[in-house]
Amino acid sequence: MDETVKTPVRSFDIHDILKCLPHRYPFLLVDRIIEAHGDQSCIGIKNVTMNEPQFMGHFPGHPVMPGVLLIEGMAQTAGAFCIQAQERAPDAPPPLIYFMTIDKAKFRKPVVPGDRVEFHIERTNRRRNMWWFKGRALVDGQCVCEAEFSAMLVDTPTA
């Protein structure tokens, strides 16, 4: 008999993500989380379209998704899933999540309009309100970007 405890797999649609993150268009860079395993790992999706504002200047005639936005997409995916993993009262506002570090970032291949980016996020450590992650961005199964990063959750300030 297998005694390992399996974490249930969850998914979050855009409405769930909007409840967790303060980001909005044009800076919301995750459309859906298709798999979340507790606070251990998740996979987020970003559908890259030509009508996104960064392509007006990056680069005209040869649109390429800026690498920094791939890192931000990984961070937003991690943020949404760790906020969802927090136990809080139903009417409590979600905490804010602040980027703390980015390390070992590597960019392997350009991302262009029409690509579907999968953000594969793995929590590597957690101490109180600090979280550490490894992230990879994949297009068609190929790694296009990877990084290690950390973030801090803080209570939402009251007005």
Query: Is 30 a residue whose pLDDT tops 90?
Result: yes
Query: Residue 105 has what DSSP assignment?
Result: E
Q: What is the pLDDT of residue 116?
A: 98
Range 91-107 burial, b when 16+ CB lie within 10 A, else e: eeebbbbeeeebeebeb
pLDDT of residue 92: 85
Q: Provide the pLDDT for residue 158.
A: 72
Instruction: Please report which confidence band the pLDDT of residue 91 belongs to, taking 50, 70 and 90 as the band edges.
Output: confident
For the stretch 49-89, pLDDT in tens is: 999 999 999 999 999 999 999 999 999 999 999 999 888 88
Report the percent of the chain where pLDDT is more than 70.
95
Q: How high is the pLDDT of residue 157?
A: 79
Q: What local confidence, expressed as pLDDT, does residue 3 receive?
A: 52
Domains and CATH numbers, the chain: 9-154 (3.10.129.10)
pLDDT band at residue 152 using 50, 70 and 90 as cut-offs:
very high
- The mean pLDDT of the chain is 93
Helices and strands in the chain, H and E counts: 2, 7
Q: What is the pLDDT of residues 111-136, one digit of tens each?
A: 999 999 999 999 999 999 999 999 99
Average confidence (pLDDT) over 23-46 = 96
Q: Which residues are catalytic?
A: 58
Residue 2 has pLDDT above 60, yes or no: no
Q: What is the per-residue DSSP string for 42-54?
A: EEEEEE--TTSGG
